[in-house]
Structure 1
Amino acid sequence: MLKILVTGATGNVGTEVIRLLRSQNCHICAGVRNPMNAQQMLGSNVECIAFDFTNPDTFVNAFENVNKLFLVRPPALANVRKQIVPALNAAKFAGIEHIVFLSLLGAEHNSFVPHSKIERYINQLGIPATFLRCSFFMQNLHTTHRQDIKTYGELLLPAGNGKTSFIDVRDIAAVAVRTLTEDGHQSRAYALTGGEALTYYEVADIFTSILGKPVRYHPNALKFIRRMHSLGLSIDFILVMLAIYTTARLGLAGDITSDTEQLLNRSPLTMRQYVEDYRHFWL
């Protein structure tokens, strides 16, 4: 039976990938730092095994008899050579046949982002791979920005008037499961976006309409930095976020591709559908 190891298994994308894999004929293995906690979250039909990118002692057991790897870079790990490469070397040594990597839209043009370095190293190792280069996750709006929307009725982001081709992680996961369980996706890269590009002013209008309370967009970089710092985020992490939103502000995040629709044989989920489905987070 096909054995698939999912890293980032308790995150937005990973939990959805595991949920969809349950309907496939495969052995699902979640590589997590705390298997006991993850087991309670993911359920008894998922094998939870200790895996930590920064602890090479966990690699051998985690990769044993694994055919395919769904690879998610933990956001806090930015030093690819020190913190990601050893795990990739272990995957190669273990004979993993295919890696599906959760990458970043435009990573192939931006050699400074960690995703680009990971893509290049996977190619250098010669492991067959599929790169899912994703646009901005809709789900960030009920994780990172939940409190701003719920408590203050604000979307506080330094993205100017730029458009973003948001994608729902449920669509990303559906694509990931297809690439993990079907043939023909090796040595491919897919640019995954939603079917519409919106400004944050338009996003705020959607929230206002669905939640029945005013939500306003404030593109204030200084206030954004202070708010994120007050939430306990590190300055380094805040600066990465600032760079991502600057990409939107400069008009570089609004490209719409057809890859999501072609791979799923349906239209991508819309921002309105996302807000309706997750509205309880902001009420």
Structure 2
Amino acid sequence: MNSNKGPVLVIGATGQQGRATTAQLLERDWEVHAFVRDLAAPAAGALRDSGANLIEGDLDDPDSVRAAMDGAYGVFMMLTMMTGVHITPAGIEAEQRRGKAMADLAKASGIEHLVYSSLKGANENSGIEYYAAKTAIEAHIESLELPATVLRPVFFMDNFNAFNRPIVDENGELVLNLAVRADIPVSLVSVHDIGAFAAIAFDHPDDYLHRAVPLAGDRLTPPEIAETFGRVAGLPARSNQVPIEQVRAFDEQVAKMFAYFNDRPDEPIDTATLRKDHPGLHTLESWLHASNWKA
């Protein structure tokens, strides 16, 4: 167990993963410095209220990042490729550029432990541009010989609260619309558990430094996902395969991701071993109950 309790600088602090990591670190008595663009933003205020110290800055301003890293023990880094609700070429380029710059600054600042949240699929030659950006960031971290842990989470359960939320049709049936074949199992993880493993990595550096850790808590086919939602909601349920072209009309990169899921089903992740370090690792059903999910 690490006796050093920080501070840890959380980059991407107001996002889902950043908030989850901040909460998990604070629960374990770590000092957290949350890197935010606007101190007056409601999301920043919520972090302050939770016990984090706020540091204002901009990822495109190296001086502000350097100042934020000064004196920090560790850094949690989660970056986005999103521009609004879409993944764009500009967003992908910005993520890769910022990720490499953050790694360079962490090296120069003498950061003792960098935890980078990447994704499962990095280093798999997927042909997906936003996967490639994360692969490049991982490679840059490795080239710098940074003391680092790379987390590789799979498809977020939390997506079922947003774009992939099941809907109740006119017949009272719960319908899961997902662009994945019915026979393809999808690995799932909750954002809460990504934050938990980030905190666990900081707690146990001897076990987690210089590792890439795939993260999943469940693995279900679309009909099994729908059945789980139906069971929790007390409704009949079914899955519907959305055509990839329909997804492509919304976002080219998301369409490529789902096509990749269909063409190259992922191998199961060893969740039993993950649960040894984190017994509370959610299955889809336990996440639905914990989040009080309602249809």
Q: Same fold (TM over 0.5)?
A: yes
Pairwise CA distance, 1:57: 4.2
Residues 1:62 and 2:62 aligned together: no
Pairwise CA distance, 1:151: 7.9
Measure, in 2, the Cα distance between the counterparts of 1:110 and 1:243. Answer: 13
Which residue of the partner structure matches residue 142 of structure 1?
A: 161
Residues 179-198 of structure 1: pairs in structure 2 closer than 5 A: 179-184=201-206, 185-194=208-217, 196-198=218-220
Q: Residue 245 of structure 2 contacts residue 255 of structure 2 at CA under 8 Å; is this kept in 1?
A: no
Pairwise CA distance, 1:254: 4.8
**Please, which of 45, 48, 56 is the counterpart of residue 40 of structure 1?**
45
**Unpaired runs of at least 5, structure 1:** 230-237
Which residue of the partner structure matches residue 277 of structure 2?
A: 263
Counting aligned pairs with the same residue, the percent is 26
Residues 1:133 and 2:137 aligned together: no
Distance 1:66 1:267, change over 3 A: closer
Q: Residue 156 of structure 1 contacts residue 224 of structure 1 at CA under 8 Å; is this kept in 2?
A: no
Residues 1-283 of structure 1: pairs in structure 2 closer than 5 A: 2-37=6-41, 38-44=43-49, 45-76=51-82, 77-79=91-93, 80-110=95-125, 113=131, 114-146=133-165, 149=167, 153-161=174-182, 162-184=184-206, 185-194=208-217, 196-220=218-242, 221-226=244-249, 229=250, 238-258=251-271, 259-264=273-278, 266=279, 268-280=281-293, 282-283=294-295
Distance 1:59 1:267, change over 3 A: closer
Q: Normalising by the residue count of structure 2, what TM-score does the alignment of the two structures yield?
A: 0.82
Measure, in 2, the Cα distance between the counterparts of 1:63 and 1:138. Answer: 32
Q: Normalising by the residue count of structure 1, what TM-score does the alignment of the two structures yield?
A: 0.85
Structure number with the higher strand fraction is 2
CA RMSD of aligned residues (A): 2.4
Pairwise CA distance, 1:225: 4.1
Measure, in 1, the Cα distance between the counterparts of 2:159 and 2:47. Answer: 21
Distance 1:213 1:150, change over 3 A: same
Query: Which has the larger displacement, 59-68 or 111-120?
Result: 111-120
In the comparison of the two structures, how many residue pairs are matched? 269
Deviations 1:22-41 (A, max 9, x none): 12333201112222223322
